[in-house]
């Protein structure tokens, strides 16, 4: 594994732990669907500001985890190069030496008397 991939994984794990801590620290009373169905209001005694910060922090860290995950895939992926199919390279036959030339046959001598 590359060092960039390891760095991204460490950052994602840290962000995940922070997200868990922030979610666990949120006030469970009066938020989300429970307030819609008659739950207590979260705007009592300045709690609204804390809840706004916690909600923004939750969304920010969640988006950070998604972005880091996508970046880790994009930056550490091994590109598959598409190349046009090529004909296999022609292997050259071993160089053959030229055939030895045979000396031309010597002219036959015809006897003079014939």
Give the model confidence (pLDDT) of 41-56 as tens digits: 545 555 566 778 888 9
Domain enclosing residue 59, as ranges: 48-77
Residues 6-42 have pLDDT tens digits of 999 999 999 999 999 988 888 666 555 445 555 555 4
- Tell me if the pTM is above 0.75: no
Structural domain count, the chain? 1
Q: How far apart are CA 62 and CA 66, in angstroms?
A: 6
Q: How far apart are CA 88 and CA 53, in angstroms?
A: 64
On whether the CB atoms of residues 63 and 19 are closer than 8 A, the answer is: no
Return the percentage of the chain with pLDDT > 70, whole number. Answer: 54
Question: What average pLDDT does the segment 80-100 reach?
Answer: 66
Determine, yes or no, domain membership for 61: yes
Mean pLDDT across the chain: 76
Determine, yes or no, domain membership for 56: yes
Residues 6-16 have pLDDT tens digits of 999 999 999 99
Q: Residue 79's pLDDT is what?
A: 72
On whether the CB atoms of residues 33 and 42 are closer than 8 A, the answer is: no
């Amino acid at each position: 594994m590359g060092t960039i991939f390891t760095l991204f994984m460490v950052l994602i794990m840290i962000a995940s732990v922070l997200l868990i801590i922030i979610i666990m620290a949120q006030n469970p009373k009066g938020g989300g669907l429970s307030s819609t169905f008659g739950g207590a209001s979260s705007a009592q005694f300045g709690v609204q500001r804390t809840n706004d910060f916690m909600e923004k922090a939750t969304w920010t860290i969640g988006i950070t985890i998604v972005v880091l995950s996508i970046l880790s895939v994009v930056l550490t992926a091994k590109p598959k190069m598409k190349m046009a199919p090529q004909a296999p390279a022609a292997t050259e036959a071993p160089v053959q030496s030229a055939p030895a030339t045979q000396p031309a046959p010597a002219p036959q001598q015809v006897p003079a008397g014939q």
